[in-house]
Amino acid sequence: MNHTAENNAVPLRVRLKQRRAAQNPIDSNRGALLIRGRLFTWLATTRARLREAGRPAPGNIAAFWPTEQEPGLEPLLAQWVEEEGMTVSLPVVATPDAPLEFRLWTPDTPMKTGAFGIPEPQGKPAPLPDVVLVPTLGFTREGDRIGYGKGYYDRTLAGLKARKHPHTTIGIAWACGDLSDEPYTPAAHDVRLDAILTDKGWAKPAPVL
């Protein structure tokens, strides 16, 4: 592990959380709506194009249940399940300091407060995801991510890569998390994301599957 990078990330996380907390709630609500719209459009057009080409279309989406200050995804997740017939899963911390497990979610799935106070679905284990939506506190335009310092997503994404399972990772972030003006160096264990979507648009361009 690059201890210098990790030590630098600690005060940076504090600043990023302060920026996020300072956002106007009205702007945050509008921004979350824009994020959901862009995600829906990207996935719908990608699936249509792949089907027309006779290729398999992504249908298994690993999402996340947002905390109070993260972009709200719930209406989009319900739409994917109820109107688009896709499989949506949410992360579960089944074992501390291990990769996340993903369990199936629908709007009717019972939820239970899990680790870190985040609701977790009580559904069945999900298939391996085609697309992983990753909660992102800070980001670079190259796809580097700062999370919350526990390493769960780094372990999870590294595990998917080790299994050679094809998947696409999209960081979901507020634009105020842009690290362009910060002296940030990723740690050795950090997994770079394929794309970053913010309330101001794609900070790292939408992936082409």
SS (H, E, C) 47-101: HHHHHHCCCCCCCEEECCCCCCCCCCCHHHHHHHHHCCCCEEEEEECCCCCCCCE
Q: What's the CA gap between 42 and 97, in Å, rounded?
A: 33
Residue 115: per-residue pLDDT:
82
* Residue 178 covered by a domain: yes
* Residue 145 covered by a domain: yes
Q: What is the pLDDT of residues 33-85, one digit of tens each?
A: 999 999 999 999 999 999 999 999 999 999 999 998 999 999 999 999 999 99
CATH number of the domain where residue 89 is located? 3.40.50.10420
What pTM does this model have?
Answer: 0.93
Q: What is the pLDDT of residues 119-145, one digit of tens each?
A: 999 989 999 999 999 999 999 999 999
pLDDT more than 70, % of the chain: 96
* Residue 209 covered by a domain: no
Count the alpha carbons within 13 Å of 157 in the hemisphere toward its beta carbon. 22
Q: What is the pLDDT of residues 10-24, one digit of tens each?
A: 889 999 999 999 999
Please tell me the total count of domains within the chain: 1
Q: Containing domain of residue 103, as a range?
A: 3-204
